[in-house]
Structure 1
Amino acid sequence: MPSPAIDDDIDDAGYVSGLPGVLGVVDAAVARIEAVLLAVGVLLMALNTIANVVGRYLLSQSLFFSEELNQALIVLITFAGISYAARHGRHIRMSAFFDAAPPRLRKAMMVVIAAVTAAAMFLLAWYAVQYVSAQASRGRLLPALQIPVWWIIVWAPLGFFLTGLQYALTAIKNMIHKDIWLSTSTLEGYDDTGEEEV
């Protein structure tokens, strides 16, 4: 018996959320935030690296802030990337017991796994906020860029929060849909070659 029809929310970038109403809007907004952060981070890192190489080898003068900027961008890309990976069901999973379980048990396991992971991510976000606050109170500056250190690490709590939100939405999607979902956009299953579908 097919699952009940649910209106899909489509954002301006074309992302289709399989969650109804407000949850679909939140899911689409998180997808947009992830996409913007990752695109901007990767493009800025590429431009910074190219500019530094050109400066070093053609002008004999490298950019003094290039290394610090790339370190900051790596932090941004890493923490935006954990949410993106969760959205697409790409995190490493130990699935031997899960795969051997019957569908009803797998469904229940996926809800529990997603909910516990969401709680862990929200807890890490809380600790990361406390760490960022501690760094902000110290007033340390990056030597080359002369910007506060906390500006660089502020991406950690945001990344943990977005990842927690992604797992919470996955738990909800598994509760309201008939199928088993690894994430809000990835259905559980294997194709004919034995490779997991993504």
Structure 2
Amino acid sequence: MPNAEAYKSKPDPGEPPHASTETGAAAEANSGKTTPGFTGILRPLGLIDRALAFFEAAILVTGILAMAIISVANVIGRFGFGQSLYFAEEATQFLVILVTFAGIGFAARHGRHIRMSAIYDELPDKARKALMIVIALVTAAIMFLLAWYSLLYVLSVYDSGRIAPVTQIPIFLTLVWLPIGFIITGIQYLLTVVANLTRKDVYLSVSVVDSYDDRETAV
């Protein structure tokens, strides 16, 4: 006796070809296809990737929640009690720096940075893979260079002894996220290079495949 799955798998005669799969394919093309991490001899790279992912997520969640709490508390204090939080503006500025430079590594890991891909999209798979390797290598080099210059800037601020006027926090402590964010982003792009060299598909990041669907959407 035929089971229910056999009837479910039969296409509806009135349904256009591929209509049931086009939405998923389009979503996959837009958001990227996630893949497993590194295995085998490259397993240590997978551990580094997961550690960075956890660190980035923890920092972003903490920073965004802290900004939300401070902002809400400041509004309640101002309109409810007639007294704003004296440290709200400075704390929010510090947290914006934290979230911004922790976020660039997170965006790189998920392939969410803006790309100028007019020429790239027209290339065949092998050429796109080669170009992606070059792009990731150059971007990683730029990130490490920016990390170096930002570290020099942080050290210069440390030597100056500048302190925030309200919270009395040393300014250099609020800027350490600049080199950290650039270093994490550079590592993410290096992992992207390794992913493209060791895997079949073209990878936008270590865990996101650059996928396309050439089938036309039925109207």
Q: TM-score range by the shorter chain?
A: 0.7 to 0.9
- The alpha carbon displacement at 1:192 in A equals 7.0
Tell me, yes or no, if the aligned pair for 1:16 and 1:28 is still in contact at 8 Å: no
Aligned residue pairs total 180
1:141 has 2:163 as partner: yes
What's the CA shift string for 1:116-156, capped at 9, x where partnerless? 10010011001110000000000000011001011111111
- 1:59 is displaced (CA, Å) by 1.0
Q: Partners of 2:157 and 2:215 in 1: how far apart? A: 50
Task: Find the residue that maps to 1:168 and give its secondary structure.
Answer: helix
User: Does the 8 Å CA contact 1:18/1:185 hold for their aligned counterparts?
Assistant: no
Aligned mates of 1:103, 1:17 — CA distance in 2: 21
TM-score in terms of structure 2 length: 0.79
Q: 1:17 aligns to what?
A: 37
2:148 and 2:179 in contact (8 A); partners too: yes
Q: 2:108 aligns with which of 52, 72, 86?
A: 86
TM-score (norm 1): 0.87
Specify whether residues 136 and 99 from structure 1 end up closer, same or farther in structure 2 by C-alpha distance, changes over 3 A only: same
Q: Deviations over 1:94-125 (max 9, x none)?
A: 11111111111111111111011001001100
Contact 2:196 2:202 in 1 (8 A): yes
| Bigger relative contact order (CA 8 A; separation at least 6) | 2
Identity of aligned residues (%): 51
For 1:182, which of 188, 204, 213 is the aligned residue? 204
Distance 2:138 2:210 in 1: 19
- Secondary structure of the 1:17 match is coil
Mark the CA change 1:45 to 1:192 in structure 2 (over 3 Å): closer, same or farther: farther
Note if 1:33 corresponds to 2:55.
Answer: yes
Paired residue type of 2:113: H
**Quick one: distance in 1 between partners of 2:71 and 2:213?**
40
- 1:85–1:91 CA contact under 8 A, matched in 2: yes
Given that 2:97 and 2:174 are in contact with CA atoms closer than 8 Å, whether structure 1 keeps it comes out as yes
Unaligned runs of 5+ in 2: 1-34
Identify unmatched segments of 5+ residues in structure 1. Answer: 1-14
Q: How does 1:164-179 map to 2 (within 5 A)?
A: 164-179=186-201
